[in-house]
Structure 1
């Protein structure tokens, strides 16, 4: 039985299921013993008002190996400090020597599991600083760098970006989720592969009651946690008063409008019917450096699997035919994009490149090539 360690910034008991949660499920379902190791939590997290601290039981779970199910464990690595962007160049520079030592903190009771691990899958983030120690601890294990995000887009501390540059060539596989991210690593490693985000096909293939039942007019849905283009929503809801905009996620600053409904953050399973029964998916993000690479984001993959047309800002780079672009801040551009999305032939949506999480887990484990 293989032992797989997933090192991520996500918390196992989070309400929001990220890609690493689904990968852990897939490895566990396929018979591996799994450790879901949460990093980048420390006393600094309180100063930064880290939203993960709001989850019940997280603080009590710190530095404890917890059996979540038979063959699946979680561990919240809580350290005195971690490499967090201090929002000032001089502070980041001064903190670099200290933050470089992040990987030297004790792994506590998680280390016994890691000593016999067969596969380490490390997400883009501070967990990269553990690579030298883990390589010494388990030199024969398979090391996979799963690049969920561009570290520059995440505004990571420079020491984390430096660790990526220094250690990327030491991985047996560097797996990126979008064609745009391939360019970030070309020439830096011979083990680079494109693996789009997976999807739980059974969940999305199942039948659900229509959450929009009784609602007249087309329904558009946005599901996300940050960087929402509120200006787009203000303009689009005004330009199309008979269309219904459903916003799912902890989004603040949305103006009251009769055709806009805000749901807040929902459990992932509750969002699936909203996506599946929508007429149009919204990938309407505000711009940040690195946002160009989000043409194959997990949400776009989910929308595409449900054969939705997608409205997205023009700075996102993708050649998916079901994505219709608008220029942020431009009423006429938004109007054209909305009309084009409404008339898009959904049967033309190409989704053969979308894999299940089980298929992606096999790729990361080294069972086959894409």
Structure 2
């Protein structure tokens, strides 16, 4: 049985009661306290991290505050490479300058407004629910759209934006953020808060505490040379699924108790491993 971050973890005890031999794997995609989950779910997750047969995390930092004794493994984030590769038609007018922001998690509308006000020659395209704000006329809000419709806006943009209002707690997004991988696969410079500086070579940071040169930030993104190495190590979903399958507990081990999972490396090992796969 596979459980995802969120209310689904409430069914863990019911799964065990229904089938005591069921192997339960928990995909820890986000920190529950970051996405606004209840304190009950946050506490329940601590229990799950020891009781599940395996916990998969998509960032080294996602494992840091879990209690000892759980069976943990690294399952890196991935993207739909064929969908991006098959996209060949730009939605943008010829010779226009365009920025794209996808997804509303921890969305900083104030930063978007500031960028747009200081760069009226750039059109800013926002995809996702809950992105309303006091924007200038060069910001277009599309709301939620099918992912296939969004792909060309990402692929042919001049740069991507990851406007996370971050604290140290959210640093796991440096490895787990799907938009960072999608932008990088499309060779886009990424405008992002300074806490993500150095997370990827294509990040153009801005000062979250009070950026004084928004126009300069945007200009650096517009003129950045696109490096094919930005794609290195980004996995397709098929590649990610193969890695996850390799980590799953095997039936033969269940009769002898909970199967062993690969142990987590130390901090240096995590860094080397995550860099080697580009997450």
Choose between structure 1 and 2 for higher RCO, CA contacts under 8 A separated by at least 6 residues. Answer: 2
* 1:80-229 equivalence runs, <5 A: 120-185=1-66, 187-189=68-70, 191-214=71-94, 216-229=95-108
Deviation digits for residues 150-174 of structure 1 (CA, Å, limit 9, x no counterpart):
0111222222111111121222321
The match for 2:208 among 318, 325, 328 is 328
Write the distance in 1 (CA, Å) between the matches of 2:91 and 2:69. 47
* 1:163-312 equivalence runs, <5 A: 163-185=44-66, 187-189=68-70, 191-214=71-94, 216-287=95-166, 290-296=169-175, 297-312=177-192
For structure 2, the 5+ residue unaligned runs are: 249-261, 263-276
On the 8 A contact 2:163/2:191 being kept in 1, the answer is: yes
Write the distance in 1 (CA, Å) between the matches of 2:247 and 2:29. 21
**Which region of structure 1 is more displaced relative to structure 2, 158-167 or 317-326?**
317-326
The SS at the match of 1:338 is helix
Q: 1:348 to 1:184 in 2, by over 3 A?
A: farther
Deviation digits for residues 284-320 of structure 1 (CA, Å, limit 9, x no counterpart):
1234773332113111111111121111112347621
Write the distance in 2 (CA, Å) between the matches of 1:334 and 1:178. 30
Would you say how many aligned residue pairs link Structure 1 and Structure 2?
A: 249
For structure 1, the 5+ residue unaligned runs are: 1-119
Deviation digits for residues 77-112 of structure 1 (CA, Å, limit 9, x no counterpart):
xxxxxxxxxxxxxxxxxxxxxxxxxxxxxxxxxxxx
Displacement after TM superposition at 1:350 (Å): 3.0
The TM-score with structure 2 as length reference comes to: 0.79
> Which residue number corresponds to residue 73 of structure 1?
none
Displacement after TM superposition at 1:184 (Å): 2.9
On the 8 A contact 1:153/1:291 being kept in 2, the answer is: yes
Instruction: Output the aligned Cα RMSD.
Output: 2.5
The SS at the match of 2:163 is coil
Q: 1:230 to 1:346 in 2, by over 3 A?
A: same
> Which residue number corresponds to residue 274 of structure 2?
none
> Which residue number corresponds to residue 355 of structure 1?
235
Write the distance in 2 (CA, Å) between the matches of 1:138 and 1:346. 52
Q: 1:206 to 1:186 in 2, by over 3 A?
A: farther
> Which residue number corresponds to residue 68 of structure 1?
none
Write the distance in 1 (CA, Å) between the matches of 2:135 and 2:216. 24
| Structure 1 stretches of 4+ moved >4 Å | 367-370
Q: 1:255 to 1:349 in 2, by over 3 A?
A: farther
On the 8 A contact 2:131/2:143 being kept in 1, the answer is: no
On the 8 A contact 2:126/2:142 being kept in 1, the answer is: yes
Q: 1:367 to 1:145 in 2, by over 3 A?
A: closer
Write the distance in 2 (CA, Å) between the matches of 1:167 and 1:367. 18
Displacement after TM superposition at 1:348 (Å): 4.7
